[in-house]
Structure 1
Amino acid sequence: MFFLWIFCSLLSGGFAADILPLPLLPSEDSFYRPRNDSWKELPVGTILDARNVTFGTLYPYLPSPADAYQLLYVTQNVHGEPDTTVTTIVVPPNANKNRLLSFQNAYDAPDVDCSPSYGFQFRVDGVAAAWNRGQLPLISRFLVDGGPVINIPDYEGSNASFTVGPQSAYQTLDSIRAALKSNDITGLSPDAKIVMFGYSGGGFATAWATEFHASYSPNLSIVGAAIGGLPINIKNTYTNVNNGMFSELSVLATLGLMSAFPELDQYVREHLKEDVKEAFLYPLKRCSSREPIPEPSLINANITSFFDNGDQFLEDFNHIVEEVGIIGKRVKKGHAPNFPLLVYQGTNDTVTGPVKDTTALVRKFLEAGTRVSYIPYLNQGHVDALILGMIPAWTWIIQRFERAEALAAADRFLQNDGKDIVIDNIGLEDLANGYNQGDQIFLDGEALIHGYEL
């Protein structure tokens, strides 16, 4: 019976592939652009347009059984100027519409045509599909019957500003605002509890959204954020990956910064050596062509040698790099997440930067009063920690939803049936769940046992 289901699904998927139109590239699709300029006066999170789309799966001829919608919404760019971008809302069969999982996908691209809203659509192929849909296993636990509604924002924005932290924060948080306003489109409850989740580049966006929540969107009912393999300091990451397997990340990050800061774009182009210019600028069009383009290899490349003045741009534009590329600078008491965090990373991660950066960030969150569960995977690399951390992250996310719901139930009880009850020395969350049950919070003494220093 199972094989018959697979056969019928593939057969119907083949028919669907013939019937459904091929999605347009974002750079060519009018849906991505507002119809007029009146939107610039509207509040962030306002939905400007919506449509149904068909969500893809890991199988090219098999569309997802989940319903999917896309929202064009108002947000802002890194300079605080009005902007728009798109988020994809996935509603699994019999979804729990009181839960919203905001998944920040690691699309790491300075090309808007690599955006998740395009790459996750059924019938899309090529680099955009491979890179985006290749990360579906990270949320496979939630795409099942009864799973939460899932929000997947194009958080780099309309100009694909990879590694521009504040812009990723604004556009992620505004996508959640838009999702909560989509009840008549998606059925999501406007009072849904929210958990954010991301790994690597997606962890970068999730961490920035976490940091900005207190000042930018304190009214959003976020109850947790799971953050893995995140680059804390893009300058350190640049140094860490250069001359190695993942040296292309230095190029992608630089191009992402260039898209947001014209003065940096001009500077880099002036100092880029002519013989490497094509290879350096190639990622700007990686997903834009429907025909395969020969991709220059940047593995083990010394990106610093691509410029006639070395990596001087990192010094000349250090004020920009520090402002938009270092996570945690704004975290302090009174300006820290009021929801728990799960942070995990391999101690031998050679992609995102030294693990001591992550440990220092965890320490900063703890000192500011945020509850943090920190799991350093000893002697594991970037991909290893992604795999090892997947199921623990799923478990933690589900627990956060359940705790939030239990807490809300306890709160309702105290406000209604329990008005005359006096509870001493116990908090509402303790009443609902038990204090810190299941958390792993490593402090100074334990840190050395686990092989790292706080």
Structure 2
Amino acid sequence: MQSVKHVLAVTALVVLHALMAFADPLPPSIDRFYTPKNDDWKGKEPGYIIDHRPIELPSLVPGAESPLTAHQLLFVTRNASNCPTTSVTTVIRPQHANPNRLLSYQIAYDSADVNCSPSFGLQKGAQLNARLWNQIQMAFVLPYLMSNERPLGKRPFINIPDYEGNNAAFTVGPQSGYHTLDSIRAALNSPNYTGINPAARAVMFGYSGGGLASEWASELHASHAADLNIVGAAIGGPPPNVTNTYIHVNGTQSPLNIWAILGVMNAFREVDDFMRGDIITQYGSFFLGPLTRCSNPELNPPKIPSNANVTSWFKSGDEFLFRFKHILDENGAMGRLINKTHKPNFPLYIYQGTDDNITAPIGDTDQLVSDYCKAGTKVRYVRYVGRDHGQTLIAGMYPAWTWITARFNGVSVLQCSVKDVTKDDGGDDDDDGDHAEIAGKGFGAGLEEAASFGQNRLSSEDL
């Protein structure tokens, strides 16, 4: 009888484990994985892994099992005030992955709701809004998720951090930068879980909000993580100045302004107190609704009209832009930290549309590039003439992939360069400055060309 009970108990445990393995994931706000079990981590260095777990990813092909495996890391990092905190990153291993390469992909999840974080939205069975916001953007790194057994086709591991942090501080630049850099360090500290080489070379990539995180990580690299083996950063559609962006898009892309204000409020108590007290009552649900955008609320918050004048929602109008100018400048104005003794030691690829309708006037990006070049950082800057935010995302995708692959293969960037790409050019950046022939041949041809340029710099182990 006892043996039967034992068998039943073991069977029940196996069944329970199987059910748990296929259960829908919990959102970060209630998932215990996101909260350290004790305070031991507070004395650890950035990038220290507190906890880890495997997760299940959805398949890229409906009805088939995913060939990708993934591991999540709870790690030590810094917040906007450079104080210890924690965050989570997702490390994806494609089939036939190259353990010597790490692509840190910063997804533009643009939200003040922690339950929109990639670590949740990328998982199989995640809540719909979080899935849509994150999984669709995996198309922007699709070539690196594909399987290929040829040596030159081996894919990098992919690191996808929750760079807004456990308080969803959207547009708070330094926090996003710290979290991105420390997530790379955590990924390199994870060979026992992921199989990545701790000495792997890393490239950062992000567009829009992901470009914001990638730029701030580049800007903070010299002071916060100069020892990290980062060999390049591709930054698309960045918002170099959040105040200018607010003014630029108010009345045309107003939801973005709401998400940005809420993100700053999440990071700074004095901003939160003021904004909650200043909002006009009739706009309260419009303004605070996005705080639960991915939290599956029982009642959907009212939709924010794209043409809303957000400034008119507050008793003091746009006073908050001036009252908190020090916070907005320190956390939302790129380029302040760049000088000849404080700059990234890797090249940058920056691209933006001259008619960008989401981030900021093109002049802000021009100035940012100028700041980097004057400091001695090599920048390949591509301006898509007459294109808006979405059009530049599509037009710039293949050239960005080619540039990233060239960085992995050791192709040198010798100087700063600027290229204006017009619609008459077919939308392609066909001049890589130092190796003009690489970028104009499409991803496949460019990949092979980039590899051939880098052959004499690499060992067979690196390919």
Q: What is the DSSP-based 3-state SS (H/G/I as helix, E as strand, rest coil) of the residue aligned with 1:51? A: strand
Contact 1:75 1:170 in 2 (8 A): yes
Corresponding residue for 2:458?
A: none
| CA distance, structure 2, for counterparts of residue 435 and residue 60 of structure 1 | 40
Deviation (angstroms), 1:298: 2.6
| CA distance, structure 1, for counterparts of residue 344 and residue 287 of structure 2 | 38
Corresponding residue for 2:248?
A: 240
**Closer, same or farther in 2 for the Cα pair 1:152/1:249, shift >3 Å?**
same
| CA distance, structure 1, for counterparts of residue 59 and residue 297 of structure 2 | 20
Corresponding residue for 1:441?
A: 417
Corresponding residue for 2:25?
A: 23
Q: Which amino acid aligns with 1:392?
A: P
| CA distance, structure 2, for counterparts of residue 309 and residue 297 of structure 1 | 20
Corresponding residue for 1:80?
A: 82
User: Which among 231, 240, 259 is matched to residue 223 of structure 1?
Assistant: 231
Q: What is the DSSP-based 3-state SS (H/G/I as helix, E as strand, rest coil) of the residue aligned with 1:134? A: helix
Q: Which amino acid aligns with 1:362?
A: V
User: Which among 121, 130, 133 is matched to residue 131 of structure 1?
Assistant: 133
Corresponding residue for 1:268?
A: 275
Residues 135-156 of structure 1 show CA distances to partners (whole Å, capped at 9, x for unaligned) of 1111101011221000000001
Aligned residues with identical type, % of pairs: 49
160-169 vs 53-62, which deviates more? Answer: 53-62
Corresponding residue for 2:291?
A: 284
| CA distance, structure 1, for counterparts of residue 40 and residue 203 of structure 2 | 32
Residues 136-187 of structure 1 show CA distances to partners (whole Å, capped at 9, x for unaligned) of 1111010112210000000011101001111001111000110000000000
Q: How does 1:139-150 map to 2 (within 5 A)?
A: 139-145=141-147, 146-150=154-158
| CA distance, structure 2, for counterparts of residue 326 and residue 375 of structure 1 | 21
Q: Which amino acid aligns with 2:33?
A: F
Deviation (angstroms), 1:17: 11
Residues 112-139 of structure 1 show CA distances to partners (whole Å, capped at 9, x for unaligned) of 0000000011112411110111111111
Corresponding residue for 2:206?
A: 198
| CA distance, structure 2, for counterparts of residue 35 and residue 242 of structure 1 | 43
Residues 19-50 of structure 1 show CA distances to partners (whole Å, capped at 9, x for unaligned) of 71100011110000000111111111100111
Q: Which amino acid aligns with 1:386?
A: L
Contact 1:58 1:134 in 2 (8 A): no
Q: Which amino acid aligns with 1:282?
A: G
Corresponding residue for 1:367?
A: 374
Contact 2:103 2:202 in 1 (8 A): yes
| CA distance, structure 2, for counterparts of residue 147 and residue 118 of structure 1 | 23
**Closer, same or farther in 2 for the Cα pair 1:331/1:190, shift >3 Å?**
same
**Closer, same or farther in 2 for the Cα pair 1:299/1:186, shift >3 Å?**
same
**Closer, same or farther in 2 for the Cα pair 1:60/1:279, shift >3 Å?**
farther
In structure 2, list runs of 5 or more residues that go unmatched: 1-17, 148-153, 426-463
Deviation (angstroms), 1:294: 4.7
Matched, 1:119 2:95: no
| CA distance, structure 1, for counterparts of residue 205 and residue 232 of structure 2 | 9
Deviation (angstroms), 1:306: 0.6
Contact 2:286 2:301 in 1 (8 A): no
Q: What is the DSSP-based 3-state SS (H/G/I as helix, E as strand, rest coil) of the residue aligned with 2:300? A: coil
Q: CA RMSD in A?
A: 2.1
Contact 1:338 1:370 in 2 (8 A): yes
Matched, 1:356 2:363: yes
Q: Which amino acid aligns with 1:233?
A: N
Q: How does 1:285-324 map to 2 (within 5 A)?
A: 285-289=292-296, 293-324=300-331
Q: Which amino acid aligns with 2:78?
A: Q
Contact 2:356 2:362 in 1 (8 A): yes
Contact 2:378 2:416 in 1 (8 A): no
Q: What is the DSSP-based 3-state SS (H/G/I as helix, E as strand, rest coil) of the residue aligned with 2:244? A: helix
| CA distance, structure 2, for counterparts of residue 396 and residue 284 of structure 1 | 37
Q: What is the DSSP-based 3-state SS (H/G/I as helix, E as strand, rest coil) of the residue aligned with 1:351? A: coil
Residues 393-426 of structure 1 show CA distances to partners (whole Å, capped at 9, x for unaligned) of 00000000001xxxxxxxxxxxxxxxxxxxxxxx
Deviation (angstroms), 1:442: 2.2
| CA distance, structure 2, for counterparts of residue 364 and residue 293 of structure 1 | 44
Matched, 1:210 2:218: yes
| CA distance, structure 1, for counterparts of residue 331 and residue 374 of structure 2 | 22
TM-score normalized by structure 1?
0.85
Deviation (angstroms), 1:440: 7.4
Q: Which amino acid aligns with 1:99?
A: R
